[in-house]
Homo-oligomer: A and B are copies of this chain.
Amino acid sequence: MSVIYRRAVRFEEVDAAGIAFFARFFNWCHEAMERFYDDVPDGYVGLITRRRVGFPAVHLTADWRSPLRYGDVANIETSVTRIGTTSATLRYVLTREADGVHVATIEHVTVATDLDTMTKRPLPDDCRALLERHLSPPA
């Protein structure tokens, strides 16, 4: 029921401590979310640019277990843990591809938003149907 997004740590994504910078994990999760919504017509790009529906974050929790380094590949498993009227909660579990080690788990509460008025709105029907297909019980 989950969707896997495979993402290599890039050359410029490390920090002066030599590990992938913590804020980068949220870029990757957003990429995983875009990949997830690519299963609605026109995908995430269509949502943003044509339908003018976005999914800003309102709440987020992250737990890190292991660092990632340049050359590592993360497998990001995206699932859905809660669906509300306007909100959708996505969970991303990141594992290091080379050895299967658990790297991080991130929960991301998003709210469907009309990008022209910047006010919340009900989840579009096709997004809701997609979310429901990937709904998992909380970990």
Contact = CB atoms under 8 A, between A and B. Distances in A.
Count identical subunits in the complex: 4
Contact of A62 (B60, B63, B69, B113): B60
A139 B37 CA distance: 36
A90 to B, nearest CB: 13
Interface of A: 10-12, 14-19, 21-24, 26-27, 30-31, 34, 44-45, 48-49, 54, 56-64, 67, 69-71, 113, 115, 118
A115 to B, nearest CB: 5
26 contacts: A10-B34, A11-B30, A11-B44, A11-B48, A12-B21, A14-B14, A17-B48, A17-B56, A17-B113, A18-B18, A18-B115, A22-B30, A22-B56, A22-B60, A23-B23, A45-B70, A49-B70, A49-B71, A57-B62, A58-B63, A59-B63, A59-B64, A60-B62, A61-B61, A61-B62, A67-B118
